[in-house]
Amino acid sequence: MTGLESLFSIIRVEGWIAIGIIIFFGILLLLSYRAGGIGPSSLKTLISLKLAMFITAILVFGASILLLQYVLAFFEFSLEGMIYLTTIFIVFFMFFQWLFSPKFINAIYKVDIIKAPTNRDEEWLVHKIRELSSASGLKNPPKVGIARGLKIPNAFAYSSPIYGMHVAVTPSLLDNMPKDELEAVLAHEVGHLKHKDVVAMLAVSFIPILIYYLGRHLMFLSVFGYGARDRDRGGGAAYLMIIALILILAGILFQFLVKHFNRLREYYADAHSAITLRNTRSMQRALARLDLMYKNIKARAPDLTPSNNVISMLFIYSSFIDFFYDPVDTYVEELKKKKTSWLMELLSTHPPIPKRIRFLDRLGL
């Protein structure tokens, strides 16, 4: 066996180890959500939360790189050029998306950037974002906007080197959520900017996206009969199709890890909000109220006509809560005891609200 063949043999073993890691972690992840033992629900400190994020990122990078090495070794590096071209394409696409995403988001969701406040709500919003940004250690406060294109109560943060940092809220959230709860939501969004979550998610998702699209390209080549330059196996297009399917499946499986990483970042932003405001109750109430709002929307959506305004519906609902009876505190306690679906969580980019509320309790603030 030549030195080169020995090197290929080692890489192939590493490739199978990478696949084993993916399978093992997938089973472990499923079992942990079933048992409620491993994962965010049992994190007791911020140190363990950061450790969980680090381990998840290492698993994504390590296992996916080993898988790519295995594919290269299997085809004796004859597909190296394709991997380079695919990598360049993915890098360009993701970099372009990152640079210009604020422009796209502002256009899609009709975000009006507040340059000069025109009412008390806008004045409060701009002032509060500046206050929270200063408390969070940001050198420059993000731009503040109203997302008039979204009818549901929501808030989100986004940024790029060209257009800077942004925080946007929807009119229904601004009009219907009490100020102390809204402040907690804004602190959560500022936390995303403080932690540079946009960059973190781009970095973690890059290789899984590369693997997925590489699989698609290999499948396309196999249809046209392209074969690997392998003297020992004559599988050609058939081998190519099998590897393509493995890569596509691996890319999809890696996305579950990416979603898991994103859920951890959400816990991290929740923790930032609680630590910045020195209390957890406002964020817990905000999460519970959002859950009530969304349930209200879902319950009434079938009866809505095109002339109905979801914002007005939420305003009536919110007014009833504010002036007569506010069930949010009671609902917070109900959510703390509520069981969540491990499968739904596995498929989601955000943790279930009950687990987020329990996590905030564990911060001990």
Is the Cβ–Cβ distance between 215 and 300 less than 8 Å?
no
pLDDT tens figures, 33-64: 443 333 443 345 678 888 888 888 888 887 88
189 is catalytic: yes
Query: CA geometry: angle at 26 spanning 247 and 65, to 5°?
Result: 40
Q: Which of 186, 166, 193 is nearest to 124 (CA)?
A: 186
pLDDT over 90, % of the chain = 38
Which residues face 168 on adjacent strands?
145, 156
What does the alpha-carbon distance between residue 79 and residue 347 come to, in Å, rounded to a whole number?
32
Helix, strand, coil % in the chain, rounded to nearest 5: 70, 5, 20
What does the alpha-carbon distance between residue 350 and residue 266 come to, in Å, rounded to a whole number?
7
pLDDT at 22: 55
C-alpha Rg value of the chain to the nearest Å: 24
Among 189, 266, 333, 334, which one carries the catalytic annotation?
189
Residue range 153-166: average pLDDT? 93
What does the alpha-carbon distance between residue 85 and residue 78 come to, in Å, rounded to a whole number?
13
pLDDT tens figures, 197-255: 999 999 899 988 989 988 888 888 777 766 544 444 445 677 778 888 989 999 998 99
What is the set of domains in the chain, with CATH numbers? Answer: 3-104+196-362 (no CATH), 105-194 (3.30.2010.10)
Which residues face 167 on adjacent strands?
144, 157
Instruction: Provide φ and ψ at 114, rounded to 5°.
Output: -80, 100
Residue 231 one-letter amino acid: R
List of residues 6+ apart from 105 with CB closer than 8 A: 111, 158, 166, 168
Residue 2: band (very low, low, confident or very high) from pLDDT cuts 50, 70, 90? very low
The strand order across the sheet containing 164-169 reads: 111-113, 143-147, 164-169, 155-160
What does the alpha-carbon distance between residue 229 and residue 231 come to, in Å, rounded to a whole number?
7
Residue 25: band (very low, low, confident or very high) from pLDDT cuts 50, 70, 90? low
Residue 364: band (very low, low, confident or very high) from pLDDT cuts 50, 70, 90? confident
Is the Cβ–Cβ distance between 214 and 83 less than 8 Å?
yes
- Burial label, 111 (beta-carbon count in 10 A; 0-12, 13-18, 19+): buried
pLDDT at 31: 47
Instruction: Please state whether beta strands 155-160 and 111-113 pair in parallel, antiparallel, or not at all (unpaired).
Output: unpaired
Residue range 127-140: average pLDDT? 95
User: pTM score, two decimals?
Assistant: 0.79
What does the alpha-carbon distance between residue 273 and residue 186 come to, in Å, rounded to a whole number?
8
